[in-house]
Amino acid sequence: MGTNDRLADTDPTRTCILSREAAPKACLVRLVLGPDGQVHPDVRAKAPGRGAYLGVAKAVLEEAIAKGKLKGALARAFKQPVGVPDDLADRIEQALAKNALDRMGLEARGGTLVNGAEKVETACRSGKARLLLHASDASEGGRRKLDAAWRVGGGEAFGRDRGLVLPVDRTILSMALGRENVVHAALTDAAAAGRVLDALSRWQAFLEPDAGLDGGNPAAAEASAHDGRDEG
């Protein structure tokens, strides 16, 4: 079960102003109008006032901005002229990245995320891991070893046969988690894994939707199923 499927029964739907396709609100990117008349991303949907929703990939959005289609769609949505920053697509990408990394940081501080190759391997082999993550610059050997541990511990029951490779390297991941040299990490709580996967899915869908993320949501699955540098 993917993010869209899991949220379909619980989250209100909204229509993308470009594609005109409906999707759960939490799967879309909300845009709000600032006092300056410019639109700004509100990926956490916390800003007051009227919002407009996007459900297209970055490349599609950039084309819509260049051709003026987004400006027209936003003017209709907000019922007034709007300003569209040339770098809006980049701002959305940065906001989605920050949202996902902040989510992982919160889970790390809450004790539901572990890192360090040995701790991650132990969590995977013992069946305690609900989501396995690799930094983009993790070695192939390090990934293979932990992916194997994930399968030994029954990780495939959660809809994937390997860990997810993040779109950030160990430097950025380490800063997000407030820890040193984080190359691999595991979520040990199903609900926490679900929250992280939801945030990662939105980020990935905007960057490269065809690539996707392996498998579904660990929280939903749990409910139904009842090189030498790789040191982090």
What confidence score (pLDDT) does residue 9 get?
A: 52
DSSP tag of 16: -
Decide which of 3.30.1330.30, 3.40.1190.20, 3.40.50.450, 3.30.1490.20 is the CATH code for 92-225: 3.30.1330.30
Give the largest Cα separation in the chain, rounded: 58
Q: Percent of the chain having pLDDT more than 70?
A: 86
Do 3-86 and 92-225 show the same overall fold? no
Task: Evaluate if residue 209 carries a pLDDT over 80.
Answer: no
From 230, 162, 158, 156, select the one nearest 190 (Cα to Cα).
Answer: 158
- For the chain, the structural domain boundaries read 3-86, 92-225
Answer whether residue 162 shows pLDDT above 90.
yes
Q: What is the pLDDT of residues 14-67, one digit of tens each?
A: 999 999 999 999 899 999 999 999 999 999 999 999 999 999 999 999 999 999
**pLDDT greater than 80 at residue 135:** yes
Tell me the CATH number for domain 3-86: 3.30.1230.10
- Over range 219-231, report the average pLDDT: 42
Helix (H) or strand (E) holding 165, with range, is: strand 164-165
Please give the Cα distance from 17 to 8 (Å, whole number).
Answer: 19
| pTM, 2 dp | 0.85
List of E strands, 2-143: 13-15, 22-24, 29-33, 39-41, 51-54, 113-115, 131-134
Tell me the two tokens of residue 148: 């194997």
